[in-house]
Amino acid sequence: MWTDLLQTRSALCLGIAPSPKWLRAWRMPDDVDGARRMCEVVLEAAGDRVSAYRIQVPFFARFGAAGTALLRDVVDGVHERGSLAVLDAKVCDADDTMDSYADLYLGPGSVLGGDAVTATPFMGFASLGPLLRRARDSGTLVMVLVRTSNHAAGGVQGAVTGSRTVAQRTADEVQGWNDENGVAAAAVVGADREEAAELVARMPSAVVELPGLGRAGRATGDLVAVAAGAPGRAVLPITTGVLRHGPDVAALAASIATWREEIGAEVPAC
């Protein structure tokens, strides 16, 4: 499901983030009605021109039950456009809770109906096991944080354990899980990290989400070169680089078209 779409549509994955910051910038009320309006505008502008939408769960959950209902409506709207929904919740817990996270986030039978959920492996990769098995059985993905782009991450993810960094070890665990169980483990690798290409190369069958597009001072060509190491398996998320053109639908659509063009020529099979 994921690779089919990544190979036939743009690898672009548009962020949906009804945060206080974005609602203010778009002059919309910081409440569930404002959030709904923002989501409608984003879906109208992007339509089926992106493979996936990355939906920031906390920006919905902060509105309680109404926000959760809105999130589900947005996932349905994404599916109506033939796109996939990444639920960005960064889940992490001991393995006895992970089935319940799957009930909440993953697959058509779950509460929120996502096609992927982000997860952190820092309670031990094995604790993700039940979530990964549920992803495999529902044709969805668990996007495991391997090396993130935030400044605070280096001390942990770059730490050396044995002969590998924590990030390298996590990448090997992602690939190892897929080799043994079927492809359900995906990876998040900040594309602007100098070790990004090497980490991607350690996971030859995993879908890789590569954040970094559209951030100030980041060359698109460098990011696209990292994505080229995962042909047909790269997901390129972008939030700020597109949303800053809103809320005008035509301006948002034009920005998406430009980003598609910029990455399209060089990311194979996308």
Ligand X SMILES: O=C(O)c1cc(=O)[nH]c(=O)n1[C@@H]1O[C@H](COP(=O)(O)O)[C@@H](O)[C@H]1O
Q: Which residues are catalytic?
A: 90
- Given a contact cutoff of 8 angstroms between Cβ atoms, the answer to whether 198 and 225 are in contact is no
From 22-30, 58-66, 127-135, 238-246, give the range in contact with ligand X by CB under 6 A.
238-246
Q: Which of 50, 92, 116, 188 binds ligand X (CB under 6 A)?
A: 188
Contact of 1 with 139, CB cutoff 8 Å: yes
| 76-84, 147-155, 197-205, 246-254 -> range binding ligand X (CB under 6 A) | 147-155
Measured distance CA(171)–CA(185) in Å, rounded: 10
Q: Which single residue is written with the structure tokens 């809770």?
A: 97
Is the Cβ of residue 15 or residue 77 nearer to ligand X in the bound state? 15
Touching ligand X, residues 47-106 (CB under 6 A): 88
Residue of 10, 51, 149, 255 that binds ligand X (CB under 6 A):
149
Q: Residue 200 CA to chain centroid, in angstroms? A: 15
Q: Which is nearer to ligand X, 51 or 149 (CB)?
A: 149
Q: Which is nearer to ligand X, 35 or 80 (CB)?
A: 35
What is the 8-class DSSP label of residue 6? H
Compare residues 164 and 244 and give the one whose CB is closer to ligand X.
Answer: 244
Q: What is the DSSP string of 131-177?
A: HHHHHHHHT-EEEEEEE--SGGGHHHHT-EETTEEHHHHHHHHHHHH
| Selected range binding ligand X among 21-29, 44-52, 208-216, 222-230, rule: CB under 6 A | 208-216
Q: Applying CB under 6 A, does 237 fall inside the site for ligand X? A: yes
* Beta strand pairing call for 141-147 and 116-119: parallel
**Contact positions vs ligand X (CB under 6 A):** 15, 88, 118, 148-150, 188, 190, 211, 214-215, 237-241
